[in-house]
Amino acid sequence: MLINCVAYQNGVKLADLPIEEISDYLQKKDCFVWVALRDTTDAELDKMQEEFGLHDLAVEDARHGHQRPKIEEYGDTLFVVMHIVEAADSELMVGEFSVFVGRNFILSIRNRSNQGFLGVRERCEREPELLRVGSGFVLYALMDAVVDRYFPVIDGLESQLESIEERLFDKGNALTNIEQLYELKRKTVVLKHAVLPLMEATGKLHGGRVPPVCTTTQEYFRDVYDHLTRINATIDAMRDTITTAILVSQSTVSIEQNVINKQLAAWAAIFAIATVFTGIWGMNFKLMPELQWDYGYPVALLIIIAVCGFLYRHFKRSDWL
């Protein structure tokens, strides 16, 4: 679906135009065309390839989707793939954002995502001096918008982790905590897969040999790279904390089980003593001592109660009960 197709000249918007007129504006001096598509069809991609002269391999990647974040060069054209990570209820939804960047055009394709980028276009149009730089600045603005949307996701994951840490030593919550920690670890892996490859690819856009469309915007891409580096470091720190929290929770489970085992062992010892006494005095021998004694039964009960009470007090002082 076509979202918009706009031509700019010297940083100023010329007109919204139909797709059929793209090639006419590409021939104008100091003019570039910015096209935005969403959940594009094969027919739309074929038309874009015809208008902009896109490479077959790049178009194939955009058509099939499910690509790893990357930046590839095809002659004078850049092909950029980014992941859009959205927090939806208790899940992380991952969309794909593909961008074709040429000397006088930029084509963005958004798939499986509800987050639009109209605000990016408005931001660029408010800065004609920077928009005059051309498609390189628009690519930076789009990448910056994608990366900035990772920060709220990181904040949400950190809040979840802090909440779990507060309940880490609550009795009876260990198994629930482990389950929630593993779910949180899975989310950090999803975000890591979006951030790390993009960080590695963005490093190619500043310093050293830089693609021609990015030569005048290297410092901007360095800023994006710095943001990605900070996000990646935060993710690594979170994963370490989660791993430690899982180990603590597993230790808590073991401690709770040991406590239960000690309690069971203590009660078993108490009842074993009672069983020993009753077993001895319950034997049917004719000449057993005190068998005919009038006070034998209550005395036997008192002995059993006294011994069991002594054991109970001993186990209680040893924190077994």
Give the tens place of pLDDT for each residue, 245-276: 988 888 887 777 777 787 888 888 888 888 88
Q: What is the pLDDT of residues 45-103, one digit of tens each?
A: 999 999 899 999 999 999 888 889 999 999 889 999 999 998 887 788 999 999 999 98
- pLDDT of residue 117 exceeding 70: yes
Would the pTM count as exceeding 0.85? no
Compute the distance between CA of residue 186 and CA of residue 90 in angstroms, rounded to an integer: 12
Give yes or no for residue 21 having a pLDDT over 90: no
**Do residues 245 and 164 make contact, with C-beta atoms less than 8 angstroms apart?**
yes
The pLDDT assigned to 204 comes to 87
Q: Judge contact between 154 and 191, C-beta under 8 A.
A: yes
- CA separation for the pair 200, 129 (Å, rounded): 29
Please compute the mean of the pLDDT values over residues 6-14 and round it to a whole number. 89
CA–CA separation, 90 and 53 (whole Å): 42
Of the pLDDT bands very low, low, confident and very high (cuts 50, 70, 90), residue 188 is: very high
Percent of the chain topping pLDDT 70: 98
The confidence score (pLDDT) of residue 287 equals 67
pLDDT given at position 208: 76
pLDDT grade for 29, boundaries at 50, 70 and 90: confident
